Amino acid sequence: MAKKAADTEHAKGASSASHHEHAPSEESFPHIESVLSPPEVKQTFGVVEGRDGVMFHVRMGAEVVHTRRAKGCLIEPAKGDTVLIARSEHHGSFVLSVLVGADDKAGNVLAVDGDLTLRSKGGKVAIVANEALSLTSGATVAVNAPELVARTMKATIFSESLSYVGRKLEAQVERMKLVGHALESAIDRVTSRVRHSYRTIDELEKVKAKELHVTAESTLNLHGQNTLMTADKLVKLDGEQIHLG
C-alpha cells in the first residue's frame, strides 16, 4: 500500500511539472498585452531627415525613428518637413500628417500606393486652381459622362492622330482656317450655301462626274488661253445670239 501511495504521489508530481513546463507565459506571446487591452499610443513630432523606400527617417531630439507613412497621411512628407508621429510599443510608429513644410514655396504632393478613387456620394467634385491645372497620365485618360461641356477662351490640341466617331457634328465659327498637306473626304451628299466663293488653284483641278450641271442667273464666263470642248456625240449651242470669232 505504501508503494502504491508513493507511485501515486510521483505521478501527480510529474503531471504538475509537465503542466508547468508547457503552460504558456507572457514571454511566449509578446503581443498578448495589445490583444487583451488597448495599445498605448504616444504622439510626438519630429523632422524628416530622409527616406529608404517606404520608410522615413525622422529625428526626434537625439533619436532617429524609422517609420512608415500612415494611409490617412495624404501629403507625402519631404526632407526637412515637421511631421506628427504616433508610436506604439507593439505596432511601431507612423507618420500621421505633415505639420510644417520645409519650404513653404514648394508644392505639396498627394501620393498613395495603388489605385486612388475620388468619389462623392450625392454631391459634386470640383478641382479649382488659381493658376495652371495639369493632367498627366502614362496610359489612357478616359472621360465617361452623359454630357461634356468645356468653356475656354483658347484651346490648343497637339496630337499625332485624332479621331472622331459620332452621329452628328455641328460647328458655329466666325472664321475657320484649315492648313494641311492632303485632304480626303468620302461623303454621300454635300450641300453648301455661301454668299461669295473664291478659289485659287495653282496647278490642276479635275472634276469627274456622271452628270455636271452649272446654272448662272446672270453671266457664265469661261476663259482660258486655250479652251477645248469635245463630245463623243453632240455639241449643242442654243441662244438668242451666238457670236463666234
> Could you report the per-residue pLDDT of 217-236, keeping only the tens digit for each?
999 999 999 999 899 999 99
Q: Are 85 and 67 in contact (CB under 8 A)?
A: yes
pLDDT at 2: 46
pLDDT at 7: 52
Residue closest to 92 by CA, chosen among 29, 32, 28, 34? 34
Cell, residue 178? 484649315
Rounded distance, CA 96 to CA 83, Å?
Answer: 7
β pairing state of 55-60 and 92-100:
unpaired
Q: In the predicted model, is pLDDT for residue 5 greater than 80?
A: no
Superfamily classification of domain 37-100: Nucleic acid-binding proteins (2.40.50.140)
DSSP state letter for 35: H
Domain boundaries, the chain: 37-100
pLDDT confidence band for 18 (50 / 70 / 90): very low
Q: In the predicted model, is pLDDT for residue 9 greater than 80?
A: no
* pTM of the predicted model as reported, rounded to 2 decimal places: 0.55
Q: What is the mean pLDDT of residues 76-95?
A: 88
- Looking at mean pLDDT, say which of 8-22, 110-124, 145-159 comes out highest: 145-159
